[in-house]
Chain A
Amino acid sequence: EVQLVESGGGLVQPGGSLRLSCAASGFTFSRYWMQWVRQAPGKGLVWVSRIKSDGSTISYADSVKGRFTISRDNAKNTLYLQMNSLRVEDMAVYFCARESYYALDVWGQGTTATVSS
């Protein structure tokens, strides 16, 4: 079964850090671009970051550039999102997703990052 499972969410104070993980199974992880998408409470989906299959090409939304770092370990079939200098507005459910034909065809259930003092 093709599956993505996120972890690493939690409660953090403004200015703090979190590292999200996304474990992939059921497909050849190293062949796919991957993305992170988030959804703040009561709001819509927002694109966060994208990484090429071999990690050589990376892009970020302007709102997280310089604070978030996407990476992957193809040997461990795992995608990461290092989130630093967190702000209240970063509070959201974070989804990882597999990209295929310029669409996100497999999504995880999400992990929640709560930023609050």
Chain B
Amino acid sequence: QSALTQPPSASGSPGQSVTISCTGTNSDVGGYNFVSWYQHHPGKAPKAMLYEVDKRPSGVPDRFSGSKSGNTASLTVSGLQAEDEADYYCSSYAGSNNWVFGGGTKLTVL
């Protein structure tokens, strides 16, 4: 049950695009299309931004998109806005009813 690997930080200017990676193994990210992404503003409840790799829950802007290649999933935020500044976490089903999260990426909007 090792954590998925995310970069500790990412940044971009308003209007730009930024991509956050999430690397796991054949036993989690690479083995299932059950990768999800969460936005977390400290002190608040985390919010699901993507599920099943690239699906957006109702209400999530289409500026948020996801993809997966092999053992690495990615979250792309296009047209960065100030309110996008937050911590982002990936998560994956890891088989045998287990789950795993990434270490989190702090996104800064410059």
Contacts and interface: CB of A to CB of B under 8 A. Distances in A.
Interface of A: 35, 37, 44-47, 50, 57-59, 61-63, 95, 97, 100-105, 107-110
Contacts of B32: 102
Contact of B91 (A47, A61, A109): A47
Interface of B: 1, 3, 32, 34, 36, 38, 40, 44-48, 50-52, 55, 57, 87, 89, 91, 93, 96-104
Contact of B102 (A35, A44, A59): A44
Contacts of A107: 45-47
B1 A104 contact: no
Contacts of B102: 44
Nearest to A50: B97
A46 B101 CA distance: 6
A104 B45 contact: no
A103 B89 CA distance: 12
